[in-house]
Structure 1
Amino acid sequence: MAMFLVDTNVMLAASAISDLSNVAARAMPREIELRESVYEWLVAFDLSDGRIVLDDVGLVRAEYERNMPYNWREQEYGMQVLQNKIDRMQADHVPIETFEGNGEHIAVLEPAHEAIVTDREDRKWVACALAALILFGESPPIVYGAETDWYIARAQLEVLGICFQPLLPTDWYRVKVDQQ
């Protein structure tokens, strides 16, 4: 069974292809040809039997909704894909623990894992991957586009059994990391 954790940046980049999208101005990558390759991956995923992994607390969905709010002209493509997966019963909800800090819910990770995943927003993806590893005996890859944090932390997280599927060329990530 093919399962995937689809980072929000993938949903944004794919949505930004539409002229009616409200997220085009802030979606990354900026390069149209790279956005198109992310879009093509998401279309193939949407049409496949692949499953999307979400958390049982709703942190992933809340991030999608926060970043792709309802667009009265045309629902953002990323949200259409999410709804299609849910409607076709191709969504798996995995249990994660959270705590509330400064009015937001944050996924709980072991302290050693928190040291690797310093962005509190990214912790939910790792928590979901680890929960899926326990539940299903495999870690769904975290699919990412313009996210250098995953590129930087990838080797350390792969030791934990977490898989990744970057959608952009390696050189794109190297250049962005060198610019930081």
Structure 2
Amino acid sequence: MKDRYVVDTNVLIAATAAHHTTMRVIDATPVDVELRNVIKDWLVEFESGDVRMLVDSDLKIFDEYNGALNHNDYGRQVVLSKFSTAAVDFLEIEYDENGDGVLSQALSDVVHDRADRKMVATALEAHTQFGEGCIAFASDTDWHEWEAKLLEHSVLLEPIIEEWSRQKHAEKQAR
């Protein structure tokens, strides 16, 4: 595990779906219980370890988490735990007129999911400030599509269920 992560929302949702405290049905990908448990185990390690969470200083990433999770959901509790233990780095990024993270033209041309741009911009700023910027993700296969260009710009990716996500990405590309 690295020292710092931007955590994609899909990680928090899938881990919540797998967590034993979850009392409701959660629509999460993947549906496979074993894969969800791998994601949950990663998040448990992230929460309990000396690992920092990366968010933008305007808290748009935090707002995304809050929009996807209920207060008592495990994924949200992990985020709140990081906040309450001062294990969060707040990074100043720029936003465009739509409220999306501003990226270079080379990255904007590739990162088509505008909601993910704030995460990329935060990881870029983390690299500038700390020498590393990593995005952890589970089920969003777009990250694989953008991987080469992100690596060119020193944004690392950690696909938590890599074999599954690469297979899903390959299937998507074949369509």
Same fold (TM over 0.5): yes
Report what 2:50 is aligned to: 49
SS of structure 2 residue aligned to 1:16: helix
Q: Percent identity over the alignment?
A: 33
TM-score by structure 2 length? 0.91
Q: Which amino acid aligns with 2:93?
A: I
Report what 2:60 is aligned to: 59
Q: Which amino acid aligns with 2:44?
A: V
Cα contact 1:106–1:123 (8 A) shared by 2: yes
Unaligned runs of 5+ in 2: none
Report what 2:34 is aligned to: 33
Report what 2:103 is aligned to: 109
SS of structure 2 residue aligned to 1:69: coil
Aligned CA-pair RMSD: 1.7
Distance 1:127 1:167, change over 3 A: same
Report what 1:77 is aligned to: 74
TM-score by structure 1 length? 0.88
Provide, for residues 141-180 of structure 1, a one-character-per-residue CA deviation record: whole Å limited to 9, x for no partner. Answer: 1000001000111122111111011111324422344145
**How far 1:35 sits from its partner (Å)?**
0.2
SS of structure 1 residue aligned to 2:55: strand
Correspondent of 1:154 among 147, 158, 161: 147
**How far 1:116 sits from its partner (Å)?**
1.1
Question: 1:94-133 counterparts in 2 under 5 A?
Answer: 94-101=91-98, 105-133=99-127
Cα contact 1:50–1:90 (8 A) shared by 2: yes
